[in-house]
Each structure stands twice: as C-alpha cells, then as structure tokens.
Chains A and B, each alone.
Chain A
Amino acid sequence: MATREEELLAPYLQVRSVLGVDGTPVGPEPDLTPDQLREIYRWMIFLRVHDQRLLTLQRQGRLGTFAPFSGQEACQVGSAYLLEPRDWIFPTYRDHGAMMVHGVPEVNIIRYFMGDEWGSRSPDGVNVFPISIPIATQLNHAVGCAWASKIKGEDAVAVGYVGDGGTSEGDFHEALNFASVFNVPAIIFVQNNRYAISVPLHRQMKSRSIAQRAIAYDIPGVRVDGQDVLAVISVFREAIDRARSGGGPTLIEALTYRYGPHTTSDDPKRYRSQEEVEEWQARDPIERMRRYLVARGLWTEQEDEDLWAWAREQVAAAVAEAEAMGRPDPAAIFDYVYAELPWHLREQKEKLLAELARRQGEVKSHG
C-alpha cells in the first residue's frame, strides 16, 4: 500500500510523454498542423547543425568559450515554439536555441560567443533578455517581468530558464515564492540535464524530483520527457494558457541530457561514462521526431537530406556574416553604461580613442 507521502509525490514523479523512443505516440498528441510539425523538426535540425558548427569554430580558435546544447533541442524548441512575440524569455548561456526560436537572429548568437556585446542586443520587438551567466538570477527577472504584465493588465507571459544545478540557488526559491504569492504569469522551466558541470543531481538535492518543489509553493509542477518535443510543447501549451488566463505560474522540469561538455572548457569524460552518453543518444529527440513524421507520412528520406544541407548553408552564411563584422567599435564599451556619458566616462573614452589613433599612426609610419 502506498504511503501518504508516495501518493502526494506520485504526480510529480510521473513523466509526461507523447512519443515513445521509436517515435510511436504513447500519449495524446498536441493539436499542431503538419506544417507546424515539420517546422518544429526543421528547428531542431537547424539547432543541432548550429551547435556542432559553433563547437568546431571554438576548437579552431574562432569563437570564445561556448556552451553547447546538443541533446537538448526538444527543450529548446518546445519551450519557445508556442510563445507569441509579446511574450518574454529570460535565458541562460545554454538557451540560445530557444532565443533563436523566439526571434533572435543566428548572427547575434555567433557574435555573442565571439565576444561582442552587440550579440546580446535582441532586435527591437524581440522580447529576449540577454543571456544571464549568474545562475538562476534571471528567474527573478522573469517573475518581475511577468508581474509587470499583470500590473499593466496585459497578458504577456515570461519564461525563465534554469538548469538542475540552478535549483540549489536561493534565487530559484525566491522566484518561485514571489511568482506564487503574486500569482504572476511566469513559467519556470528547468532543464534537468543531470549535471551541474560535473556535480550530479543527487548532490544538488535529496528531493525525488525538481517538479515536486512546486508543492512547497502551491503552484502546478510538471515533469516532462525533455527528449520528446511534442511532450514539451504539450506541457508548455497548458502552462501558457494557464498564465495568460490569470491562472498563475507553473514549474516545469524536463528530463534531458547534454551530449557535450558543460562548456568548451571542460572534459565530461572525467565525471560520466561513455555508456551513459550512448544511452541518451539512443533516445535522441531529433531521431524520435523524424520517425514520427515518417510514420505519419509527413516526411521522406529525400526531404531529410535536403533539410540537413539547408541547415548547413544557413549556418555557414551566418558564420560568414558574423566573421565579416570584424571587431566592435571601441567607443561602444563606453556608450551604453549610462543613457548619457558622464564626464569621467567621456574623458576615458576620448583618451582611449586618442591612444588607439596614436598607435595606428605608429603602425602606419613603421609599416
């Protein structure tokens, strides 16, 4: 017989699925058109190609430190796909997939990882907050943003992204608490990829799921198969509808896995086995969606080849565009500290620009 505790936790341990590992439906499919289904698949392939290309660029010294998300494409696409332009996302450094799905051009992402702050400038009208490197802080920003929507009588939703390690930070709990107390239209989306760099989840918490932490804040908590893009979309549809209609926040835990390192600065072989990686690769979100589309007669092998080729061309063009941009304007590091340059920054900027001009003159006269 189940204990009371087990009964209470059961809904938070159950994993929501739509597609089995072989792509066969095992749960109710979200209401999406064939074009939408193909678009979702196209996004995932584009993100995989983008990610692998940027990893290579970093190894070649053409990019700074880079945080790859390969393996997490279903979470990236599924979390952002249903959002309206008026909705907001507050990403981590491993959410540039979702950022692109919500409207940030790929060239911005490449420039960001090349080391240009301009990359963090979302185009006007694209409600994507700059990447937050400090862990979990952005959840409070998302909650404040959603709260402002509510105060202004608007229906925009804000999604805050965080990883499993981030759930140990105070900001995670403060954000959930504020979201709960003020019933704001926020979605806290945890991509549980099992490791915070090297530290496994069982050293982050003794709880049996991250989703169950919703109990403490008396808000809905959902656990979803993060390798199943249709499942991620389904839980997001419910959370978005709830938020938009005044029903308040939702905590979503997606079970996922990053195939690569935390960033290009670490070696995951030190803390996890190749067998484990292969187990997760066998549950690949892209392959699963491909099988589903083929089985439904919505996709062919030929289309698949064309799509991978198209993605490689897209990414190559964006990389070329980013590399052609050269170095940022030196004045820019001063120009955005305040709305107007105060006297001391004006002095420092003029001094740097004069120094750069002098050095350039020297190079010319010695050239």
Chain B
Amino acid sequence: MARMTMVQAINDALRVAMRRDPRVVVMGEDVGVNGGVFRATDGLYQEFGPDRVIDTPLAEAGIIGTAIGMAVNGLRPVAEIQFDGFLAPAHEHVVNHLARIRWRSRGRFTAPVVVRIPSFGGIRALEHHSESIEAWYMNNPGLKIVVPSTAYDAKGLLLAAIEDPDPVLFLEPKRLYRAFREEVPEDYYTVPIGKARVAREGRDVSLFTYGAMVPVALEAAEKAAQEGIDVEVIDLRSLMPLDVEAIVASVQKTGRVVVLNEAPRTAGAAAEIIALINDKALLYLEAPVIRVTGFDVPMPYLLSEDLYLPDAERVLAAIREVRSY
C-alpha cells in the first residue's frame, strides 16, 4: 500500500495497465513529455515510449476518431480530453460512432476506448474548464459513465474501465485530484462498474451523489448528525449503468431522499435518479424527494463559481427539509 492522491492513483492505474497489457496506449494533448496538464500521465512516456504514450495534435475529433479506429483494430486506447468542455468537438465521434460500433455491427466490431476527462468545477478555472457533461451522455445509449470520488476507486474503476469490452467515459473530478491522500494498493485490482458505494451509513435520510459532491455530502451529513439526523451517503460511482439495487435498498431503509449533483438542474442526473425512485420505490417514500443541483445557467467564471456549486449548507437545508416533512 502507498498513500496516494487521486491523480497519483490514476497515474498508477495507467502504469499498471500498460505493464500488464501491451494493447493499452495512452493518447491526448500534452500527455507525453509533459505528463498531462494535471500530471495524470507523468512518467509514462519515459517508461513506455512515444508509440504507446502519444502526444497528439490539438484536435479532439481526431483524437476520439482515431482512438475508435485503433480500438476496432485491436488496441486498448485510453484517450485523455484535456478538459470537460473540450469533448464538444469530439461529440460527433462519441455519440454517432463510439457508442454504436458494437450495436451497428451486431457485435462484429467493438470500440473499447476509455475517454478520461478531467471534469466538474471547483478549481477556479477559465470558462469551459469546469463543466458537468455526464447528462449529455446518459441519454445516449452505448456508453458507460464512471465518476470516482476516492483515490482507491479512481484506480480500481479506471482499471475496470480499461478491461471493459465497451467504451467508458471516465469523468475525473479535478477538484479532488489533490484534495486528499489515501491508502491505495500498488498492484492490480478492479472496482466493478455499475456498483455504488455506501460512503456513510445512516438511518434517516438517503443522500445520493457522485464525484466532487461526495465530500460536500459527507460534510453536510456530519453537520446533520450534530442535529440528530442520521444521513446515509451513497456514492453512485457509475451513472451508466446506475446501481438500482443500492438506490432502492437505501430508499427502503430511510424513506427520505436528497439527490445532489453539481450539473445544471433540468434533465440532470438527479432528475433521472428521482424518476428511477418513482419507478421502483415510490411507496417507500415518506416525503417528496429533494434535489440539490447547480443552476440552469452556464458555469460561472471563478469569482461566481461558489454561487453556483452546491455547498454543505445548501445540502444541509435540503436534509432538514426532507427530514421534517
């Protein structure tokens, strides 16, 4: 075991994957000599060379498009898109091709590409560097969508994503890259895609969230505990597929639900989770579900970022409201 930040755990996962599987190649802007703008690929170029750690031209459609061709021809590309907002130029390749190669060819061809995307807000970045893009793709069948919130999960989920036979969008909460250090095994292990994690057990209120909002949820839960409200925090980890069993089990236990995401409110992941609860567990509810989200505005620049991002106070207010209904 070693103590690692999340970005170190991601780096370690890439190194472990590349050592055990010669088909794995890493590609993207600045991922080679520079080791990635967040250092997620640090040292890989020196160990594996320019054929497997590829500095590409600055062209996201070209990156995802060529990664698809590589994957179809037997490689396991892990493509980095430098920031969330810059997946937009590659959107066509993601929705029109990456998600559909298996389906369109009736299983003859597959495109097991992992797209790593430093995502979400909270690092005082420029415009287009703090976006929540998960809902763009939850409504687009054929992709898996994974969001870690711990260093351990980041490594295990990334290794699972690289091993997965289907394309995976791997959204890395850049706000958590260096927020903490944790014990992370140095050898190979996977964390299954599609399984949520109970981040904190509780009896009174279920709080479903993911990514950079997990620490916010835990902070709110601690504050609620001081008021005698026992909150269960579920880190979803995977948004496609969602872990319906974990969601239903927690709703059955508490009957009171808050859903938290930092993406804009309308048609966000929280809306889907609430619809799922409606489908599967409505009669267990003791109160209407409350969602805490970002606003339906473009992600504000750094001076107003904190107005937008849900914080523990906003989450705590929702916890109180759902508890006292």
Contact = CB atoms under 8 A, between A and B. Distances in A.
Interface of A: 88, 90, 117-118, 120-122, 124, 129-130, 132, 134, 137, 139-149, 151-152, 156, 158, 170-171, 174-175, 177-178, 181-182, 332, 336-339, 342-344
A132 B68 CA distance: 13
Contacts of B104: 117, 120, 130
Given A130-B104, A144-B67, A178-B57, A151 B62 contact: no
Interface of B: 25, 51-52, 54, 56-57, 59, 61-62, 64-75, 89, 92-93, 96-97, 101-110, 141-142, 144, 164-166, 194, 240-242, 244
Contacts of B108: 121-122, 124
A332 B107 CA distance: 10
Contacts of A137: 61, 65, 92-93, 96-97
A344 B75 CA distance: 29
Given A147-B66, A343-B241, A343-B244, 14 more contacts: A129-B105, A129-B109, A137-B65, A140-B62, A140-B93, A144-B70, A144-B72, A151-B25, A151-B51, A151-B52, A158-B73, A170-B89, A174-B61, A336-B105
Given A117-B106, A120-B106, A137-B93, A88 B73 contact: yes
B69 A147 contact: yes
B107 A336 contact: yes
Given A137-B92, A148-B75, A178 B107 contact: no
A178 B60 CA distance: 11
A339 B102 contact: yes
Contacts, number: 139
A256 B72 CA distance: 31
B70 A174 contact: no
Contacts of B96: 134, 137
Given A174-B59, A337-B103, A129 B244 contact: no
Contacts of B101: 130
A98 B71 CA distance: 23
A124 B109 CA distance: 10
Contacts of B56: 178
Contacts of B194: 342
B72 A141 contact: yes
Contacts of A344: 241-242, 244
Contacts of B62: 140, 143, 171, 174-175, 177-178
A90 B101 CA distance: 13
A118 B71 CA distance: 21
Contacts of B73: 88, 144-145, 148-149, 152, 156, 158
Given A147-B66, A147-B69, A344-B244, A339 B93 contact: no
Nearest to A333: B103
A51 B97 CA distance: 27
A148 B109 CA distance: 15
B102 A338 contact: yes
Contacts of A337: 102-103, 141-142
A148 B103 contact: no
A213 to B, nearest CB: 16
A118 B93 contact: no
Nearest to B193: A342
A326 B59 CA distance: 44
Given A134-B92, A134-B96, A174-B62, A336 B103 contact: yes
A220 to B, nearest CB: 20
